[in-house]
Amino acid sequence: MAKVKRKNNEYFDKFLNRFKKAVERDDILRTYYAKTFYEKPTARRKKAKELAIKRYKKQLQNETKELNQMRLQVKS
């Protein structure tokens, strides 16, 4: 839980920004929305699988970039 105390002579806007950052760091809103709306287990698995595929493709892309850079260095 985010706890933020107001400092002496602190403007409300600055205090509100500090509070928003604390809430964001604690992932309070994400857990709130996750618990408010029911998501079917199959939908959760599907989303997790899609994210895993996306990570894998990005990893392959980075590896191919590194290999191409190494090949260019060897040719030079």
Residue-wise pLDDT for 54-73, tens only, equals 999 999 999 999 999 999 88
CB 24 within 8 A of CB 4: no
Low-confidence ranges of the chain (pLDDT < 50): none
- Distance separating alpha carbons of residues 45 and 30, to the nearest angstrom: 18
Q: Tokens for 15?
A: 């205090």
State the DSSP string of 9-74: T--HHHHHHHHHHHHHHTTHHHHHHHHHS---HHHHHHHHHHHHHHHHHHHHHHHHHHHHHHHHHH
pTM of the shown model: 0.52
Q: Tokens for 23?
A: 């809430």
Q: What is the pLDDT of residue 41?
A: 94
